[in-house]
Chain A
Amino acid sequence: MKKRTFAIRSLAAAGLTAPGAAAMLPPPDQQGANQDRPVGLYEFFTQQHEYTLAGHRSHSSHSSHSSHRSSSGGGSYRSLPPPPATAAPRRTAPRPSTSNSTPPSSVLPQTATPPKVLPGNSGMFANTVMRVQSGLFAYGYYTGAIDGFMGPETKTALMKFQLDRGMPVTGTITQEVLDAFNIKVE
């Protein structure tokens, strides 16, 4: 029972529960104040991370991803530099110089207006996969659907990305992958 409550909270922290469920949960600032809780992967991503994938943050909803599929390249992600021809430093996008500094407010998650519930996808992990897929798409490695599912196409794209960047080629989301797309962990 404890686990269950925990899991739902972590999803809620991402603003990804069903609208009706929000009433059962404490407001976000109360959750943040509770320091003693164990931190799971999903919370890890949502609460301790500062997402600096600025192009994404500006979207009010991920429904705009549907248009990405038909776009011809990564042009819509102007905030990201084009992929380097050879192995490059892992972190290409701007990031704060020290871990304790406060990033510009434009790149912080907008806690006041949590993202809308994504239809058919209530999972925070799927959301993370979407961010990685979007990053791969922006860098020209991936042309499939931004569906939040680590299918073979995503894995292949990710492996190629990892290879080009001199990362361990795992075909899975790793810390290096999050760093490369500036899905940043503090």
Chain B
Amino acid sequence: MIALNLPARFEDASASPFVTRLSRDRVDGACLAAEFGVSQTYQLPGQAFEIDVPEGDDLIGDVVFADPENGRVSRWIRATSPHNTLLVTERCDQLCIMCSQPPKKSHTDLFEHLEAACRLAPQNMVLGISGGEPLLFKDQLFSLIERTHIARPDLSFHVLTNAQHFAETDLNRLRQPALRNVLWGVPLYAADTNLHDEIVGKSGAQDQLLEGLAIMARAGLAIELRTVLLKQNYSPLPALARLVSARLPFIRVWAVMQLERAGFARNRWHDQFIDHSANPGVLVEAVSLASAAGVDVSLYNVPYCTVPAGLRGFLRQSISDWKRTYSTDCLDCSAKTICSGFFEWHAELSDYAMGAPV
């Protein structure tokens, strides 16, 4: 696992937080000025800070949020990673039973810093935006994306949202190139209204979500529909596949993913984790239904050996690199390079009935 928050010693510990890019020789950021073993000192006008570089890691090129008062440097955009996600808020209007990043009531407005970070991002990068629910701060978020699109048209965004905050009045704005350029990740857990609402901890959520999706469709937005596999929603998955095929044919992709063992799911693991390989027929049926209807289906965080051969073409290796790991049983597996692996906090291979090295 890659450390995203590093303790740092600041020369001026009373300074306000700031965003900067760590560099070896560029003067427009924090420039590497001293190296003693694992310790690196970066300097910028009026400030210097010292970080211990984690073993085997490289900080050069990273866009960081430096917080002198708390003695911390957060790697917001890692230069070498294709999986960078900016957290715009920790507040959320849902409370999903398996939330990997449980929300908080407090909100720290970091939009100014986030925008500064986006402008320093490496060329052509896709930046993830998550929360909390980012669209609770819809106007600020849209403005961030719009201004960044003007300053850095090479960048694109992937925004995770519950899609319940889009309104008819947003249509004109959504149709502009900046927001059309975003891939919007929207979770939908079940075709059954009550089941979906129970999973996200909010009554009326599914109704609002489907209205939101309709507005997004009218604006021509690119939608990645996301479904996490749970004990609660596994057997009715084919019904969801039918709903997606019949009512949501406009989505770009349906991403079906295994559970991340983090946040709420960590303590509720045995109530929530479903071994799809013990009953793969359900998954096969759901994927086949949607796929036959022309829906592009992707399976995320599903180890290669745990699905029947017919589903392997749908597997995507897309877990964020800093969360990806492999089970100890996987050491000599020949399918490792094409396997999506496990979430750092996911199951072991032995949790799957079908799990075995290839």
Contact = CB atoms under 8 A, between A and B. Distances in A.
A150 interface: yes
Nearest to B71: A3
Interface string A112-153: 000000000011111011000000000000000000011110
B27 A152 contact: yes
Contacts of A152: 25, 27
A11 B11 contact: yes
Given A3-B70, A41-B41, A150-B31, A8 B25 contact: no
Contact of B43 (A7, A11, A129): A129
B75 interface: no
B36 A3 contact: no
Interface stretch (A47-55, A57-65, A88-96, A168-176): A168-176
B285 interface: no
Interface residues of A, number: 28
B96 interface: no
B12 A123 contact: yes
Contact of B24 (A8, A41, A171): A171
Given A4-B14, A7-B9, A42-B11, A125 B36 contact: no
A41 B13 contact: no
B34 A172 contact: yes
A82 interface: no
A150 B36 contact: no
Interface in B1-53: 9-14, 24-25, 27, 31-36, 39, 41, 43, 45-48, 50
Contacts of A11: 11
Given A125-B11, A172-B35, A149 B45 contact: yes
Nearest to B10: A7
Interface residues of B, number: 26
A174 B11 contact: no
Contacts of A173: 33-35, 41
A122 B35 contact: no
A26 interface: no
A125 B10 contact: no
A56 interface: no
Contact of A4 (B33, B41, B69): B69
Contacts of A151: 27, 31
A155 interface: yes
A84 interface: no
A170 B41 CA distance: 13
Nearest to B14: A4
A101 to B, nearest CB: 24
B34 A174 contact: yes
Interface string A15-50: 000000000000000000000000011101000000
Which of B14, B33, B43 has the most chain A CB within a 10 Å cutoff? B33
B27 A125 contact: no
A128 B34 contact: yes
A171 B32 CA distance: 9
A90 B47 CA distance: 30
A160 to B, nearest CB: 14
A129 B9 CA distance: 17
Interface in B126-161: none
B144 to A, nearest CB: 30
Contacts of B34: 41, 125, 128, 172-174
22 contacts: A3-B9, A3-B10, A3-B70, A7-B11, A8-B13, A40-B9, A41-B36, A41-B39, A123-B12, A123-B46, A123-B47, A123-B48, A125-B43, A126-B11, A129-B33, A151-B27, A151-B31, A152-B25, A171-B32, A173-B33, A174-B34, A174-B36
